[in-house]
Amino acid sequence: MNSDPSSRPAHLDPKRSFQGLILTLQEYWAAYGCVILQPYDMPMGAGTSHTATFLRALGPRPWNAAYVQPTRRPTDGRYGENPNRLQHYYQFQTILKPSPDDIQDLYLKSLYAIGIDPELHDLRFVEDDWENPTLGAWGLGWEVWCDGMEISQFTYFQQVAGFECSPVSGELTYGLERLAMYIQNVDNVYELNFNGARGDEKVTYGDVFLQNEQEFSTYNFKAADTELLFRHFTDAENECRALLAAGAPGSPANESKFHTLAVPAYEQVLNAAHKFNLLDARGVISATERQSYILRLRDLSKACGAAWLQTRSGGALSGKVEAGFPSDNATK
Amino acid sequence: MSDLLLELYCEEIPARFQANAAGQLKSAVTGALMEAGLSYDSAAAFAGPRRLTLAVGGIPARSMDKQIERKGPRTDAPARAVEGFAKAAGLTSIADAKIVKDDKKGDYYMARSVLAGEPAAKILAGFLPGIITGFNWPKSMKWGAGDLVWVRPLRAILATLGAENDETETIRFQVGGLTSANITYGHRFLSEGPITVRRFDDYAAALEAANVVLDGERRAEIIHQEAKGLAFAAGLVLIEDKGLIGEVAGLVEWPVLLSGTFDEAFLALPDEVIIATIKANQKCFCLRDEKTGRLAPRFVIVANMVTSDNGKSVIAGNERVIRARLSDAKFFYDADLGEPLENRLPRLAEMVFHKKLGSQLERVERLKALTVEIGPTVGADIDVARRAAMLSKADLVTAMVVEFPGLQGQMGRAYALAQGEDKSVAEAIANHYRPLGPSDTVPNDPVSITVALADKIDMLTGFWAVGETPTGSKDPFALRRAALGLIRIILENRLSLSLKSLISIGRMGHLDNVPLPVAGRSYTAPDAVMTFDRKMADDLVSFFHDRLKITLRQAGAAHDIVEASISVGADDVYAISQKVTALTGFLETPDGEKLLSGYRRTANLLRDEEKKDAATYAGRYDVNAISSEVARTLANAIALSAEAVAADMDGGDFSGAMAQLSALADPVDRFFDEVRVNDPDPAVRLALLNVLAHLRATMHLVADFSKIEG
């Protein structure tokens, strides 16, 4: 269960490289028994929106997964000039359902694995309740502090898509850049050592992402075509509704007892949410309109959550879990 | 006698919930003990980040036996009924029942039984699970696959009971998959493994040895003393912050105080910005240099950890975060300074104040209009006051206030001074929110007073107009605080202001189709024409009266004197408080006492006679009908006083009015000693009653003496 950093080449020491940090966390949670997933292939504002969290937190089936998710926050773009803020950054997300009794210890050991020595640091769980209005979700938990710096969000989901979570999932979200800056001891994100190499071989975070940050800040704040974005938002909303109707059990196209289009419908929510975030960054959504867009997204999220609960993976008709169904093997 | 030790061990409890939770645990358990017939000598509850603990001393080993009586059928009832009763009452034969004589309804059976007392451990095991499952947290949750609801996952329960100096037993019960035991755990990082516990004494000692200070107040005291010590060692003074000490004491089990520094260049920021950054984000304390009065580039960290490098990494980490935070703040501050406050006003239109009361910009327009009306009555320059009102909310859309909402007003002041505004304008921007609570100071500059009164009366009349008035414990818009604040501003500045005229100034802003005096415009409700009728005004006046009563009582006035001094429509807050002071003084004098007892006799007698006669005496009479010298003396004295009292009251000279009343004390006394009011001659009686009625009316000019309690 313990990942052994010494078996890894020195340049992949999480204290030396950004990718070493990611690999260590993946190994740690893989050793625990999590499914290690790859990032969802669509833009989203948080790792929570990944189907592996948002949808899998619903329903009765156990589920343990970990993955890196690129996180898009268009309004946080700073043209690469702010050492702490990015419009695209990475979260490492672990979801454990049901949350195990030793989840705090499991989490702390993951910190030890990446080189945070509990003998040297002040680790604290400070109240922080989490709510995501566009996902109709909330939970209670903490932000985890290391020497006064927030390094993770730790949440026990209580509701997702407006549905009470039973069993409850524990969600651990590590802000990877911030964590890496701390353990590599650099003050500017662009100076993070990405590959752990020295001299000419060294690749920094800036080498990989500075150009992107500059270009996307321009895109987010100036270049994005707002008319097109408004249209795409509406298109995604309509497509989502259409898919939800078409995949519903008993609809003309679906003779099964299950919902058959819950995930494609949810992808349209991700689509719409990202368009909304871009429009927000372009400053074309007023304070009053903003609320109504959030409500529209929440309605879609809830409807998708309801649809998911009508799927097999969502635990519909559970009790009659079919042998060989992937979800049954994916659990610990 | 036995002692109970109960510990509920869980994942980190939010600091703000801890104190109440300890109190709740104590009252729930002691209440249940009493209800079960178990007394106790002492009870103490403690709360910290990971545990709630309760120690109850002096519980009897068993509850007392209870005699139970059960009434049965009459002795002549059918045999089946009698048998049934015997069986139900658990008697072997009806012969064991007692026969109670009853001559009226007939003799009947009475079964007596003894309900044996139970061991305290059994009783506790019976009710403790219910206390845990029924615990009331402000926010609670479920976890894992369980159904138990707690503030954060509950991980262990310790429950022991035992006689003094004797072995203890574990009180066995189960809740949500947990089984109670005699085990606890120490500090998360500084101790290892479970700790077996017998009773409170060894429990507290074992925890202390395992780096847990159980008592939150002691943790707070340690933090306070050590923070002061670190400040002193650096030649500085701690900026006291009771709230922060309390919060931090709820975040650590083993407080370790360390001190760090930040770059002096950040001192270019206003002190309040640095304090807010360091306090709100990092929960660290700031220090001041007493010689310069300014903030020092140093802060105090409260860690929960003794580290192997003596805190070096902890300090370095906190310094890094604070450096980053202050850099952000500096960035926001510099950006904010680049845009004058008035240029920000259009953006207030996007900021909703309340959905029925429009935007912050509409509110600013109302405040500008109100200051024009209020300003002259408190001696403020109208133009300066209007300027202050116009800029009063502009800082709400600055980056700094968006980041730290608690800095509203203070940032406005800093930015106003930086852009060269009049000092009164800058102070009013900061101080118009005040007083923020009972211990906060009240603005005293006329411009600040004007904007503060406008701000509060606009809120109160506005929320009254849309029907969002406080009910019970619900006061989401802090209207009680606004009314109390308004009253304190008036009292502490000795302002002579009419509540009714303030209300009518305030309501202007909320009426449709009523043009505001100057540039302002009224808010038009989207769906209905806003009304502010007489009833709302009266209701708001009595809301003010209630706050005023509280204020006066808190200042030490007796509640009956307060009641006597506020008549239904009373309007001048400062005058009422003056009256309370004068009346309190008067009633302490011998004349005051004498007159009060004379008043009571008068009032009682009149009440009885008026009832008898089905009449109300107005105090007019034919003086010739009165032959008694004593009665005539009183009548003359009242006639003389009445005019003088009325004049004094009109002039607000309450002490003068009371002195006039003093002159009546002796004549009234003699009157009751020597005159018989119920004279056989109806004309005489009528005249005498009216003399007394005149006395009553004269005294009521001053206050309602009937409200004074004996």
User: Do B283 and B240 lie in a common domain?
Assistant: yes
Q: Is A239 exposed, middle or buried (0-12, 13-18, 19+ CB in 10 A)?
A: middle
Asked if residue B562 belongs to a domain, the reply is no
**Is the bond preceding residue B405 a cis peptide, omega within 30 degrees?**
no
- Alpha helices of B523-678 — where are they, by DSSP H? 534-554, 559-565, 573-588, 590-613, 629-650, 654-662, 665-674
User: Do B274 and B146 lie in a common domain?
Assistant: no
User: Do B673 and B602 lie in a common domain?
Assistant: yes
First to last CA, chain B: 46
Interface check B145 vs A, CB under 8 A? yes
Cα A267 to Cα A255: distance, rounded to the nearest angstrom: 23
Q: Is the pLDDT of residue B43 over 60?
A: yes
**In this complex, which of A123, A126, A168 lies closest to B144 when CB atoms are compared?**
A168
Contact A125 B12 (CB under 8 A): yes
User: If DSSP codes are grouped into helix, strand and coil, which group holds residue B392?
Assistant: coil
Specify whether the CB–CB gap between B349 and B361 falls below 8 A: yes
Residue B517 — very low, low, confident or very high, per pLDDT cuts 50/70/90?
very low
pTM, whole model, 2 decimals? 0.78
User: Do B412 and B484 lie in a common domain?
Assistant: yes
Asked if residue B660 belongs to a domain, the reply is yes
Asked if residue B233 belongs to a domain, the reply is yes
pLDDT confidence of residue A330: 38
Mutate to test the interface with A, among B16, B141, B248 (most CBs of A within 10 A): B141
Asked if residue B579 belongs to a domain, the reply is no
Cα B509 to Cα B364: distance, rounded to the nearest angstrom: 10
Cα A131 to Cα A92: distance, rounded to the nearest angstrom: 19
User: Residue by residue, what is the 3-state secondary structure of B138-187?
Assistant: CCCECCCCCCCCECCCEEEEEEEEEECCCCEEECCCEECCEECECEEECC
Q: Which domain holds residue B690?
A: 584-707
More confident residue, B633 or A2: B633
Chain A partners within 8 Å of B323 (Cβ): 187
Residue B14: Cβ within 10 Å count: 23
Please state whether beta strands B66-74 and B108-115 pair in parallel, antiparallel, or not at all (unpaired): antiparallel
ipTM, two decimals, is 0.92
Distance from CA of B384 to the nearest CA of A (A): 32
pLDDT tens across B430-484, in order? 999 999 988 899 999 999 999 999 999 999 999 998 888 998 888 888 999 999 9
Asked if residue B577 belongs to a domain, the reply is no
pLDDT tens across B82-131, in order? 888 888 888 888 888 888 888 888 899 988 888 888 999 999 999 999 99
CATH number for the domain spanning B632: value is: 1.10.730
Q: How many domains, chain B?
A: 5
Closest residue in A to B349 (Cα) is: A287
Residue B537 — very low, low, confident or very high, per pLDDT cuts 50/70/90?
confident
The H or E element spanning position A324 is none
At residue B239, what is the residue type?
Answer: I
User: Do B110 and B127 lie in a common domain?
Assistant: no
CA-based torsion, A211, A217, A222, A223: positive or negative: positive
Distance from CA of A182 to the nearest CA of B (A): 8
User: Do B173 and B236 lie in a common domain?
Assistant: no
Specify whether the CB–CB gap between B269 and B329 falls below 8 A: yes
Q: Token match 């004074």: residue?
A: B708
Q: Is the pLDDT of residue A102 over 80?
A: yes
**In this complex, which of A121, A139, A187 lies closest to B307 when CB atoms are compared?**
A121
Share of chain A above pLDDT 90, in %: 84
Closest residue in A to B300 (Cα) is: A148
In this structure, chain A runs to a length of: 332
Angle between helices A226-247 and A287-308 (to 10 degrees): 30
- Domain stops at, among B209, B236, B271: B209
Asked if residue B129 belongs to a domain, the reply is yes
Q: Phi and psi (nearest 5°) for A174?
A: -100, 130
- Domain stops at, among B180, B209, B238: B209
**Mean pLDDT for the stretch of residues A79-102:** 95
Residue B514 — very low, low, confident or very high, per pLDDT cuts 50/70/90?
very low
Contact A122 B144 (CB under 8 A): no
Residue B635: both structure tokens together: 């009548």
CATH number for the domain spanning B347: value is: 1.10.3210
Contact B350 A158 (CB under 8 A): no
Contact B317 A119 (CB under 8 A): no
User: If DSSP codes are grouped into helix, strand and coil, which group holds residue B52?
Assistant: strand
User: Do B494 and B372 lie in a common domain?
Assistant: yes
Picking from B265, B261, B267, B268, the residue whose alpha carbon sits closest to that of residue B234 is: B261
Picking from B592, B702, B684, B685, the residue whose alpha carbon sits closest to that of residue B642 is: B702
- Alpha helices of B134-215 — where are they, by DSSP H? 200-209
Specify whether the CB–CB gap between B174 and B188 falls below 8 A: no
User: Do B314 and B353 lie in a common domain?
Assistant: no
The H or E element spanning position B415 is helix B410-418
User: Do B349 and B419 lie in a common domain?
Assistant: yes
Residue A117 — very low, low, confident or very high, per pLDDT cuts 50/70/90?
very high
- Domain stops at, among B186, B209, B232: B209
Chain B partners within 8 Å of A104 (Cβ): 11
Residue B371: both structure tokens together: 């200051």
Please state whether beta strands B168-170 and B237-238 pair in parallel, antiparallel, or not at all (unpaired): unpaired
Q: What is the dihedral of CA A246, A248, A249, A251, to 10 degrees?
A: -40
Q: Is B518 exposed, middle or buried (0-12, 13-18, 19+ CB in 10 A)?
A: middle
**Mean pLDDT for the stretch of residues A298-321:** 87
User: Do B429 and B550 lie in a common domain?
Assistant: yes
User: Do B24 and B168 lie in a common domain?
Assistant: yes
Q: Is the pLDDT of residue B218 over 80?
A: yes
User: Do B139 and B82 lie in a common domain?
Assistant: no
Asked if residue B383 belongs to a domain, the reply is yes
Picking from B447, B388, B453, B379, the residue whose alpha carbon sits closest to that of residue B417 is: B388
Asked if residue B299 belongs to a domain, the reply is yes
**In this complex, which of B282, B301, B313 lies closest to A121 when CB atoms are compared?**
B313
Mutate to test the interface with B, among A75, A127, A155 (most CBs of B within 10 A): A127
Specify whether the CB–CB gap between B241 and B274 falls below 8 A: no
Nearby residues of A50 by Cβ (< 8 Å), 6 or more positions away: A37, A39, A40, A44, A67, A69, A93
At residue A232, what is the residue type?
Answer: H
Interface check A170 vs B, CB under 8 A? yes
**In this complex, which of B139, B144, B318 lies closest to A140 when CB atoms are compared?**
B139
Picking from B252, B251, B230, the residue whose alpha carbon sits closest to that of residue B239 is: B230
pLDDT confidence of residue B569: 73
**In this complex, which of B11, B144, B328 lies closest to A98 when CB atoms are compared?**
B144
